[in-house]
Amino acid sequence: MSSEPVGTLSELTAEGLFALLWDSMADLLGTAATATLLRRALRRASAQQPVLCGVATEREGLTYRYTVPPAWQQALDQEALAALRALTLELYPLLVEMTGPVVVRRLARVETLRRAALAPQEEVTR
Amino acid sequence: MNDPGTVAPIECLSSGILELDRILDGGLPARSVSVITGKPGSGKTILTLHVLFHLARQGKRCLYFTTLSEPTLKMIQYMQRFTYFDQRLLDERIVFTDLGSRARSQRPEQVLAEVSARVEREEPDLVAIDSFKALHDLLGDAASSRSFVYDLAVSMAAWGATTLLVGEYTTQDLASAPEFAIADGIIHLGTQPQERASARVLEVLKLRGANYVSGQHFFEITGAGVAVYPRARAPEVTGEASSSISERMTSGIAGLDDLLHGGVPPRSSTVVQGSTGTGKTLLGLNFLRAGVQKGERGLIFALEETPAQLRSIAAALGWDLSALEAERRLTVIYISPLELSADRFLYEARERVQTAGAQRVVLDSISSVALGVPSERRLHQFIYALTKHFRLAGVTTLLTLEVPEQFGAVQLTGHGVSSIADNVVVLRFVEVDGRLERAISVLKARGVQHETEPRRFTIGDGGMRVEGAFTGYRGILTGVPMPVTESAPRADWRKEER
């Protein structure tokens, strides 16, 4: 699991936030489940946020990897943040459906996700 | 050489399952490495999680590595169905982490470093790797596998963690996989076929430094997790209270007490055997009722009649069982013989007897218990253990046993269990002058004088009555007695035979 990035929100990138989300999930569920659940959420969220079509997860050898739009490597902007929020809004209900409150509670404890308003809301984690 | 009095006891971690702790001689030895083995579906993960959540409740920190067995997604889903699950403990006391993704893409030393780093960060009291077998399979050759397991065991012990390696190993793996040589403990979960059903069994194959209970122990998976019922075995008899040989407990039937010179000794076990309809259950109810009248609590384990049927039988004799039950002077417990597991029954029966504070217990019947016991030898062991446990608990026990009626033959023992009992009372039908009568006799009464002559007994409005001897007949226990004529006394026949 990668360590949580520190610094202000403006110092973060969308790629870094997505990596944090991926790593936090993969630490608990493994990369196979993480990739699949994110793919499901991406499919749903991309209708509202077409930029999410640029996020891909795929199997590479014995593990899974992801790619994000090149623009996500730049400083975090509002458009990328809105896309990530749309993604998490689709993802968290899926996680609750599959695992109850266990995974979303773990994600809710990730400080950087909380600062970026990407952490699950209290009603989801309950 | 150490003085036995100065040897430090091994600290144990409770499994959260009282009976499993007893089997393990106190629990899992702290800082030990134990392997939990079993086929898929044998309950390994459920047992491991049961232990983890229990320890977390005790304030211990636990780290659970999942690998490439049951997908974590599903495990998380299913574990929430058990009452031991408490989401408040997650990430506070129990940390789940996936090791499978790393194990697939990294070298063994990297995986070991990852495990060690995580243990260093969390400083857990207990580490579980589920499935370690899956990890083992990714390690490749035997040498690197052994080295990995050894380093892991050393690392976990050095960090002060007790470790559970969970895996679906085969019997061959037990002899060859290095984890079994290195592990301090091996707990195997399996099944034991029982006719068309199968029972879950748990067996401790190894536990260094512990005087564990060997053999297969029945266990169940319930909504609360794992429930273990140790195999039926007799108690260790130490400091048993002695009773005066002159003490007697009335059977509630005056004539039977006369045959026993006052009744059965306290804490003794009595087998009442006879064919169907001879009055065994009724004799048992009489025995309980007599105790209740003297202020002693009674309990009947009924495997043949339901409580409603027993109440009806008693009511026909003018006894109100319901009233005694309501006053908790009598407890009626019905157990379907179809659902019976002898080991579980012994465990629960001891608890029930203790809860009810029973001084008199009737088991009706051994014949029905036999349906739930795989072999005659096991039945023998079960009855032996049951009577010894009850004796130690200060209980006087009466067990009924159905034996087939064989006219013309004396059937003295059934299932070989009569030899275990202190006393044996035989009931049987006897054909006298074309009429069917009932006969009762005391075949055996350990340590006390008793009459051996068969007596008539009747069942009527007043209950059971033991009457006089079958005067003028011989061979009563054959069921077809012969009249003794004055012209041919028995002694003379013997002379003739010579």
**Cα–Cα–Cα angle for B131, A26, B114, rounded to 5 degrees:** 60
User: What is the pLDDT at residue B486?
Assistant: 58
Confidence of residue B492 (pLDDT cuts 50, 70, 90): very low
pLDDT digits (tens, 9 = 90+) for B338-380: 878 888 889 899 999 999 999 999 999 999 988 878 788 888 8
pLDDT at B174 over 50: yes
Q: What is the separation of C-alpha B394 from the centre of its chain, rounded to a whole number of angstroms?
A: 19
Share of chain B above pLDDT 70, in %: 92
Q: Is a pLDDT exceeding 90 seen at residue B237? A: no
Lowest mean pLDDT among B160-169, B467-476, B477-486: B477-486
Report the length, in residues, of chain A.
126
DSSP state of B134: H
What was the pLDDT predicted at B491?
43
The 10s digit of each residue's pLDDT in B371-430 is 878 788 888 888 999 999 999 999 999 999 998 876 666 655 555 777 889 999 999 998
Taking an 8 Å cut-off on Cβ atoms, the answer to whether A64 and B71 are in contact is no
Residues of A in contact with B72 (CB under 8 A): 28-30, 33
Chain A (67-96) residues lying within 8 Å, Cβ to Cβ, of chain B: none
Q: Number of C-alpha atoms within 13 angstroms, CB side, residue B221?
A: 21
The interface residues of chain A toward chain B in range 16-75, judged by CB-CB distance below 8 A, are 26-33, 61-64
Q: What is the pLDDT of residues B53-97, one digit of tens each?
A: 999 999 999 999 998 777 888 888 899 999 999 989 998 999 999
DSSP B223-268: TTEEEEEPPP-PPP--SPPP--TT--B--S-HHHHHHTTSSBPTT-
> B98 vs A102: CB contact, 8 Å cut-off?
no
Helix, strand and coil in chain A, % to nearest 5: 65, 10, 25
Q: With bands split at pLDDT 50, 70 and 90, how would you rate the model's confidence at B245? A: low
Q: Which residues pair with B191 in a beta bridge?
A: B200
Bin B16: left if φ > 0, else alpha if -120 < ψ < 50, else beta. Answer: left
Indicate the SS3 state at residue B65.
strand
Percent of chain B whose pLDDT exceeds 90:
49
Residue of A nearest to B114 (CA): A1
Average pLDDT of the segment spanning B201-224? 93
Confidence check: pLDDT of B179 > 90: no
CB contact at 8 A, B424 and B271: yes
Highest mean pLDDT among A118-122, B281-285, B381-385: B281-285
Residue B487 has pLDDT above 60, yes or no: no
The tens digit of pLDDT for each residue in A81-110 reads 999 999 999 999 999 988 888 999 999 999
Rounded to whole angstroms, how far apart are CA atoms B376 and B102? 53
Residue of A nearest to B102 (CA): A63
Residue B37 pLDDT class (50, 70, 90 cuts): very high
Average pLDDT over residues B331-344: 87
- CA angle in degrees (0–180, nearest 5) for B74-B77-B83: 135
Pairing of β B12-13 and β B28-29: antiparallel
pLDDT number for residue B415: 59
Partner residue opposite B91 with nearest CB, options A61, A98, A109: A109
ipTM of this model? 0.72
pTM score of the predicted model: 0.74
Residue-wise DSSP of B162-217: EEEEEE---HHHHHH-HHHHH-SEEEEEEEEEETTEEEEEEEEEEETT-----SEE
